[in-house]
Structure 1
Amino acid sequence: MQTAGPLLNGNFELQPSRCRMNSTRVMDAHAIPHWTVAGFVEYIESGAKQGDMILVVPEGMHAVRLGTESSIQQELSVTQGSYYSITFSAARTCAQNEKLTVSIVPGDPPGELPVQTVYTTSGWDSYAWAFQAAQGVVSFVIHHGDDQVDDPECGPIIDAVAIKTINPPQATGSKFQPSSLVISAAE
């Protein structure tokens, strides 16, 4: 049962066997230990080059890149009814708007997260997704859809995937009196 910390191989440091890869492309759905991949997924090493750009990994030496219509997923043992937050780092590798769809199966409808990568000097942004566990075993999925780009290799890099049990806010029992703030323009 996972309650806090990185997911199993959440930093992607346990490497896939090279015989299950074609260069950086992962060719087998179960090649990356503890993960299931679908579509064009690459196993990236920090310092690798993409054209004139050097790819940097935020934690450790490895990460994954999700190409068009690709995904990574991991089954999680959780406590049914408990609340969790999953965090991960993502970075764009192409000059385009990219979106990730995050979902817990079974669970709430998936959510869409735009990958902006404009706020940090490292080029990586952190994302969080909260959910309530519908069952004791759920699948966590990060999916990169079709961004209307011809290059299937063009897609965000994912790393540092972690989970934490969170406590929902509790009612205090005291009477809460909402207040309003009215701002009026001076005449």
Structure 2
Amino acid sequence: MFYAGLLPNGNFEQQPKPTDIKQTILLRKNSLPEWEISGQVEYIHGGPQAGGMYFPVANGIHAVKLGNEATISQTIPVKAGSLYTVTFGASRTCAQQQVLRVSVPPQTGDLPLQTLYCSDGADVYAYGFKANSTSVKLTFKNPGVDEDPKCGPIIDAVAIKQLLPPRPTRCK
């Protein structure tokens, strides 16, 4: 099965079990339905937060926030040799520079997060890759070590689309 559109629980609206979360912190590797986590990953509600912060959420009311060195990943069935694009909403939570590392091995890219904020609440990013097998592991990582533990990138609305191969144009 190949996905087109939101990944399973790509908008993070399928909530973790109450035993898998303490306040906003996800407790176990498989606490977030359809995703695997590592490090401090928070399951957040969008909007105003205690302490004067505001969390923009691109789609729905929930998203994830990655702490220092934290990751979320999902294995996706794909067609080997095909080109794909993954799109997602992301935003930073503090004025510090933040980077989001996106990888589909063997490819990896670091995306510097801006604070542009579109009307949907987060900026939209895209990451393209060529599948070299019938399944790939998509990983988002916060590679930074922020001084403030409340800071970290927010991710939401993760979708995938297979791209058609480029074809030469005909000249008349």
2:135 is aligned to 137
1:2-39 per-position Cα deviation (integer Å, ceiling 9, x unaligned):
24110000000100012111210011010111000111
Q: After the TM superposition, which segments of 4 or more aligned residues of structure 1 sit over 4 Å from their partners?
A: none
The DSSP-based 3-state class of the residue aligned with 2:104 is strand
Distance 1:66 1:37 in 2: 10
Q: CA RMSD in A?
A: 1.7
Matched with 1:170 is 167
Whether 1:37 aligns to 2:37 is: yes
- The more displaced of 12-21 and 54-63 is 54-63
Alignment partner of 1:112 out of 110, 113, 130: 110
Is there any run of 5+ residues in structure 1 with no aligned partner, and where?
176-187
Q: Is the contact between residue 2 and residue 163 of structure 1 (CA under 8 Å) also seen in structure 2?
A: no
The two structures have a TM-score, normalised by structure 1, of 0.85
> 2:163 and 2:50 mapped to 1: Cα distance?
38
Is 1:66–2:63 an aligned residue pair? no
Identity across matched positions, percent: 45
SS in 1 for 2:144: coil
Q: Residue 51 of structure 1: SS of its match in structure 2?
A: helix
1:121 to partner: Cα distance: 4.4
Matched with 1:85 is: 85
1:75–1:137 contact (8 Å) kept in structure 2: yes
Shift of 1:164: 0.3
Unmatched tracts of structure 2, length 5 or more: none
Aligned ranges 1:139-158 → 2 under 5 Å:
139-147=137-145, 149-158=146-155
Q: 1:82 to 1:50 in 2, by over 3 A?
A: farther
- SS of the aligned residue for 2:19 comes to helix
| 2-structure distance, mates of 1:164, 1:76 | 12
Paired positions, count = 172
Q: Which residue of 2 aligns with 1:54?
A: 54
> Displacement of 1:72 after TM fit?
0.5
TM-score (norm 2): 0.92
1:49-77 CA deviation, whole Å, 9 max, x = no partner? 14112323221111000111111100000
Verify the 8 A CA contact 1:88 1:158 in the aligned structure 2: yes
Listed one character per residue, the Cα deviations across residues 82-139 of structure 1 (whole Å, up to 9, x for unaligned) are 111000000111111000111003x32x101011022524551000011111100110
Corresponding residue SS for 1:19: helix
Name the CA shift for 1:17/1:95 in 2 (closer, same or farther; >3 Å): same
AA at the equivalent of 2:39: G
